[in-house]
A and B are shown apart, each in its own frame.
Chain A
Amino acid sequence: MMSDKMALDVHNHQMTRNIVVGVLALQGAFYEHLKLLQRAFREVAIGQDEGWEFVEVRTAQELERCDALIIPGGESTTVSLVAARSNLLEPLRDFVKVRRRPTWGTCAGLILLAESANRTKKGGQELIGGLDVRVNRNYFGRQTESFEAELALPFLGTKDGRGDVKPFNGIFIRAPVVEKILPVIRGEQASERAIDETVIAPSRSPEGEMNEQVLRPVEVMATLPGRSRTLKKHVAATGLEDEAGDIIAVKQGNVFGTSFHPELTEDARIHVWWLQQVKDMTQHEEKSRFP
């Protein structure tokens, strides 16, 4: 909980419009993301040339203001149900899949952004979609199997070209994993529908100028080697299709997902990297609209 002041206007530049980054605040660790966004802003002063605003999102009106969105960790079942009852599910699909705005999901957020997910509650759950992947919802098991692991995240080093990137402390809480990269197709992942106990997101067509983004490939941004073997006994036989290493971060066009929780650390590097992506995508979009 925080006061409305949290949505502070970090840097109000007079010439350019603020870039508004929302954090979906229906349930879960949204406050932790807001803290790290502010830290990312302060530490690296990304916003030299533009203003940034970080806001909580609970309604369609609040989402409407946003240029980019984080869907935080929490209970994905809860977030999905509350989003539907708050008339936010369709606006979210519109935001992610039609207007193709930059969106990042952590843990529960990754589940919601997947086009396909399994091991959901009886009767399934609603997904937003956006990433052509199948997510195994409780892959790493119950809380007693939650863990921390040092992660090699190559994408954090790409900006300045350095090879030696300091490991990132990955915190995995009853964590999901990307079980399969699906073919990149227009429309829904129909072949996934046929699989038992697997739910898929409905298809939405992107806006005209966003159309090219749809057929972008899914990039595997990070894997966790070896962990799954030690956890096998806890994992139900759901036909794991990737034995080489568990996929824990993916990106496809405007959508980014991590199965771990950067928001539970004090390390803002991923937030810094993502805000840079947001800046690039937002400016690119504005240029294409108002050349």
Chain B
Amino acid sequence: MAINDSPSTLVAPSTSTPTQDNAPTPASTSNRDNAPSPHTSTQDTSPNFTVKDGLAKMFKGGVIMDVVNADQARIAEEAGACAVMALERVPADIRAQGGVARMSDPQLVTEIMDAVTIPVMAKARIGHFVECQILQELGVDYIDESEVLTPADNAFHVEKHAFRTPFVCGCRGLGEALRRIDEGAAMIRTKGEAGTGDVVEAVRHMRTVTTEINKARGMSDMELRGYAKELNAPFRLLKETAQLGRLPVVNFAAGGVATPADAALMMQLGCDGVFVGSGIFKSGNAAKRAKAIVQAVTHFKDPAVLAEVSGGLGEAMVGLNVGRMAEGEKMAGRGW
């Protein structure tokens, strides 16, 4: 069964307490969090990686849905989303309409926060730390530094440790994931290819992460140093990942998930949960599809449930075939 190959399969009794026993952990980065920050005004509640990573762990086994207004947020909440992502346009529309895609209007984000009681995430442009400061000020629960928006910096991502609000970032492979974690991301997702409804890129990115972790697992320290250079990843985090046999933070699927079967596929490949962007509100019956995807993520190993919830959902989003897209049209290439 595919699940046994997954990087998040931490079943061997000898590795059952891996996170804080024998390795430098994400928590060890928290001393940086405690440093006075130019970005935050709060001195008393120093941000702590345990708390950031903790919320990500509470999302596990859940579905995070893109919503563009309070009504959609309520539909998502009623469907059982474990969080919503507030944005102005879903990726499919960003793709169709073009132009520069930016952080959402704070008023919209606030309306969505007021409409639901589940956590609310919002997207900031890659490298745009002022958008992140604004989102933190609004009180969003997570910031997605996202390639779906137009990048604001062509060389750097946001330094994320200093923020009290935790960050999730996209990756195409292990090196990219570990660079983001090194910058302070407390949660990772595959980039996939957003707004297409084609799951092939999310699968590619998840498989790449898995393969690269498996490769690192048997390596000596010296080999890991070489591999760290090859992946352009920090040695410390690569070593920790090799010891854990999985990414040291929660890892969701994103970018092209459109059906309950897509969601369960990503779960069986070892993802901890699923983001669904355009796949829900660009489909025929959003509420029904949203519920079905939530059920599929919980019961991802049970084909009987998957068969039941996949039926009668109406039109899926039309979709774009990633294989026929020009390189320049892809969003996943954004990020450094």
Contacts and interface: CB of A to CB of B under 8 A. Distances in A.
A and B together in one complex: yes
Interface stretch (A27-35, A91-99, A205-213, A249-257): A27-35
B276 to A, nearest CB: 14
B58 A82 contact: no
A5 interface: yes
Interface in A86-138: 86, 107-108, 119-123, 137-138
Contacts of A86: 295, 298-299
Contacts of A82: 80, 294-295, 298
A137 B4 CA distance: 37
A230 B44 CA distance: 10
A126 to B, nearest CB: 12
A2 interface: yes
A13 interface: no
Nearest to B30: A148
A143 B165 CA distance: 7
Contact of A26 (B3, B57, B58, B61): B61
B50 interface: yes
Interface string A19-30: 000000111111
Contacts of A147: 45, 48, 51
A146 interface: yes
A77 B48 contact: no
Contacts of B10: 2, 31, 35
B42 to A, nearest CB: 8
B209 to A, nearest CB: 14
B136 interface: yes
B291 A85 contact: yes
Contacts of A3: 1, 3-4, 9, 11
A39 interface: yes
B145 to A, nearest CB: 16
Given A58-B298, A143-B119, A144-B165, A28 B4 contact: no
Given A2-B10, A144-B164, A144-B165, A264 B82 contact: no
A75 B59 contact: yes
A261 B54 contact: yes
Contact of A119 (B45, B117, B267): B117
Contacts of A8: 11, 13
B58 A73 contact: yes
Interface in B307-326: none
Classify chain A's interface size. 35 or more
Interface string A151-179: 00000000000000000000101100000
Contacts of B291: 85
A166 to B, nearest CB: 16
B20 interface: yes
Interface string A219-259: 00000000000100000000000000000000000000000
Given A38-B13, A121-B77, A171-B51, A27 B298 contact: yes
Contact of B51 (A2, A25, A173): A173
Q: Is the interface of A mostly helix, strand, loop or mixed?
A: loop
Interface residues of B, number: 59
Interface string B245-282: 00000000000000000000001001110000000000
B50 A171 contact: yes
A74 interface: yes
Contacts of B136: 144
Nearest to B59: A75
B60 A27 contact: yes
Given A74-B61, A78-B80, A148-B48, A2 B9 contact: yes
B287 interface: no
Contacts of B44: 230
A29 B60 contact: yes
Given A78-B82, A121-B77, A264-B57, A35 B51 contact: no
B267 A1 contact: yes
B50 A148 contact: yes
B60 A5 contact: no
A32 B77 contact: no
A39 B16 contact: yes
Contact of A35 (B17, B139, B166, B297): B17
Interface in B1-40: 1, 3-4, 6, 8-11, 13, 16-17, 19-21
B305 to A, nearest CB: 8
A137 B118 CA distance: 11
Contact of B62 (A32, A78, A123, A142): A78
B54 A146 contact: yes
A272 to B, nearest CB: 14
Contacts of A184: none
A121 B20 CA distance: 35
Contact of A1 (B6, B62, B166): B6
Contacts of B1: 3
Contacts of B164: 144
B11 A6 contact: yes
23 contacts: A3-B3, A3-B11, A5-B11, A8-B11, A25-B298, A27-B60, A27-B298, A28-B61, A38-B13, A74-B82, A75-B59, A77-B77, A77-B117, A78-B81, A78-B118, A142-B139, A143-B55, A143-B140, A143-B165, A173-B55, A174-B58, A174-B141, A261-B54
Given A75-B82, A78-B81, A143-B142, 13 more contacts: A1-B267, A3-B11, A27-B61, A28-B61, A30-B60, A32-B57, A35-B16, A74-B58, A86-B295, A107-B58, A122-B74, A143-B166, A264-B54
3 tightest A-B CB contacts, nearest first:
A143-B141, A81-B80, A75-B82
